[in-house]
């Protein structure tokens, strides 16, 4: 009988991503409610020394698949490995972060296993041992609770920055087990030849704790200088609306919204962004939303916790100076 929670940890360049610790923490809470164990899976190349950290966040066991061919995520290799692990371990619930990789991975894994899957969830509950996932629908206007068919595992991805992360406890340790990596090279249909890093050196928007975002109100690419300065003072990442991206002022990687990235930082400062539903779809689960807009009727103010009605080119530099003074 299927039992226990399996969590897929995601690494990039050998470092475990923050969302993985959030998902392990949430997986631990679910496993405790089930009275069962949580197993984390770590896949990569030269990653074994990172496995212990998953134990600090609550994993009882970590299965490590370490092989040079696994350095970068490829659906063929990762899905085939995890499908075998699922068959061997029979978890009742399997969760991972709703990153670009996680969303791709979860969909393909669910299809391979013939089980149900829910993407980009913001909360999990258990009813009679079955996973019930909450996920935003209609561009974040409503939340749906979804249940799964009887087939196990119930697979879901968790939106980054939403689930509470446990305090790491270095006195906690997990059993670390090496997985046999029986990969058929012919099954690996894609090969990552190069990873081109974002030159900005800021934290990826999906994992950022603070985001300063600009829209059409920035007037042009040079307008973002004031946002970059504020982001530097705050230690924030910089986002953009689709209008700004479509105008070529910012790269697509910066776009927040329905057709961009879904973000959930502790602080989201929207500057010169009207707050169209497609933009809100990408940021409405942010913990604190600040809007700076010269139009008091802009819809963004309906979602904002704090609002400033004024010219952003006056307000943002003043805010930057005030933050710098705070040290
Ligand atoms: C299928 C589809 C998908 C979409 N996906 C996305 C998406 O992923 N992300 C996204 O953002 N949009 C998306 N859109 C576009 C969306 O509908 C809006 O057009 C877009 O979000 C508007 O961007 P904006 O707020 O920057 O521009 P505007 O709506 O033009 O707003 C600009 C704002 O700046 C303010 N402003 C101007 N000058 C100043 C100043 N000096 N100081 C202060 N405020 C000022 C104005 O008052 C105004 O409120 C999508 C649309 C469709 C149809």
CA distance 233 to 30: 38
| Residue 39 Cβ contacting ligand 1 at under 6 Å | no
Is residue 240 a contact partner of residue 250, using CB atoms and an 8 Å limit? yes
**Any idea what the CATH number is for the domain that residue 68 is in?**
3.40.50.620
Q: For residue 277, give the 3-state DSSP assignment.
A: helix
The model's pLDDT over 266-277, given as tens digits with 9 standing for 90+, comes to 999 999 999 999
Domain assignment of residue 292, yes or no:
yes
Domain assignment of residue 259, yes or no:
yes
Best residue among 215, 218, 255 to mutate for probing ligand 1's pocket (most ligand atoms within 8 Å of CB) is 215
pLDDT-derived band at 183 (thresholds 50, 70, 90) equals confident
Is 169 in the same domain as 242?
A: no
Percent of the chain with pLDDT over 70: 99
Is residue 82 a contact partner of residue 112, using CB atoms and an 8 Å limit? no
Is 209 in the same domain as 169?
A: no
| Residue 215 Cβ contacting ligand 1 at under 6 Å | yes
Domain assignment of residue 232, yes or no:
yes
Is 252 in the same domain as 111?
A: no
Is 248 in the same domain as 177?
A: no
Range of the domain at 100: 5-187
Work out how many domains the chain is built from and give that number: 2
* pLDDT of res. 267: 98
- Using CA positions, which residue lies closest to atom 37 of ligand 1? 217
Q: Is the pLDDT of residue 198 over 80?
A: no
Closest CA to 323 of 269, 260, 255: 269
CA distance 178 to 196: 30
CA distance 105 to 42: 14
Among the candidates 130, 156, 187, a domain finishes at: 187
Best residue among 241, 294, 312 to mutate for probing ligand 1's pocket (most ligand atoms within 8 Å of CB) is 241
**Any idea what the CATH number is for the domain that residue 318 is in?**
3.40.50.1220
Domain assignment of residue 198, yes or no:
no
* pLDDT of res. 199: 62
The model's pLDDT over 267-304, given as tens digits with 9 standing for 90+, comes to 999 999 999 999 999 999 999 999 999 999 999 999 99
Is residue 39 a contact partner of residue 91, using CB atoms and an 8 Å limit? yes
Is 251 in the same domain as 153?
A: no
Q: For residue 267, give the 3-state DSSP assignment.
A: strand
Q: What is the mean pLDDT of the chain?
A: 95
Is 227 in the same domain as 280?
A: yes
Is 280 in the same domain as 242?
A: yes
Q: What is the mean pLDDT of residues 146-158?
A: 97
Q: Is the pLDDT of residue 240 over 90?
A: yes
The model's pLDDT over 71-96, given as tens digits with 9 standing for 90+, comes to 999 999 999 999 999 999 999 999 99
Question: Given the CA of residue 243, which atom of ligand 1 is nearest to it?
Answer: 23
Domain assignment of residue 247, yes or no:
yes
* pLDDT of res. 187: 77
Is 209 in the same domain as 168?
A: no
Is 13 in the same domain as 105?
A: yes
Residue 291's H or E segment, with its range, is strand 288-293
**What pTM value is reported for the model?**
0.88
* pLDDT of res. 188: 84
Domain assignment of residue 196, yes or no:
no
Helices marked H in 161-241 — which ranges?
Answer: 224-234
């Amino acid at each position: 009988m299927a039992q226990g929670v399996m969590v897929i940890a995601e690494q990039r360049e050998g470092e475990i991503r923050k969302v993985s610790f959030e998902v392990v923490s949430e997986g631990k809470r679910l496993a405790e409610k089930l009275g069962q164990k949580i197993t984390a899976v770590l896949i990569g190349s030269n990653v074994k020394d990172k496995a212990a950290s998953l134990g600090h966040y609550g994993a009882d066991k970590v299965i490590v698949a370490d092989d040079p061919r696994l350095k970068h995520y490829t659906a063929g290799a990762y899905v085939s490995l995890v499908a075998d692990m699922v068959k061997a371990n029979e978890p009742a619930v399997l969760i991972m972060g709703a990153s670009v990789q996680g969303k791709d991975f979860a969909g393909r894994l669910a299809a391979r296993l013939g089980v149900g899957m829910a993407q980009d969830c913001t909360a999990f509950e258990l009813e009679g041992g079955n996973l019930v996932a909450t996920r935003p629908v209609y561009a974040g206007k409503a939340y749906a609770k979804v249940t799964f068919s009887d087939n196990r595992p119930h697979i879901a991805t968790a939106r980054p920055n939403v689930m509470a992360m446990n305090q790491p406890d270095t006195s906690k340790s997990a059993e670390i087990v090496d997985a046999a990596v029986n990969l058929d090279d012919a099954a690996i249909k894609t090969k990552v030849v190069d990873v081109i890093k974002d030159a900005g050196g800021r934290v990826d928007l999906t994992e950022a704790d603070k985001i300063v975002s600009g829209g059409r109100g920035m007037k042009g690419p040079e307008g973002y200088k004031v946002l970059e300065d504020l982001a530097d003072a705050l230690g924030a990442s910089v986002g953009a609306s689709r209008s700004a991206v479509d105008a070529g002022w910012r790269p697509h990687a910066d776009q927040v919204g329905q057709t961009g990235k879904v973000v959930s930082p502790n602080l989201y400062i929207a500057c010169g962004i009207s707050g169209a539903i497609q933009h809100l779809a990408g940021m409405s689960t942010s913990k604190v939303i600040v809007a700076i807009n010269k139009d008091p009727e802009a819809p963004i103010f309906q979602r904002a916790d704090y609002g400033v009605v004024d010219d952003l080119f006056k307000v943002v530099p003043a805010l930057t100076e005030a933050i710098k003074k705070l040290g």
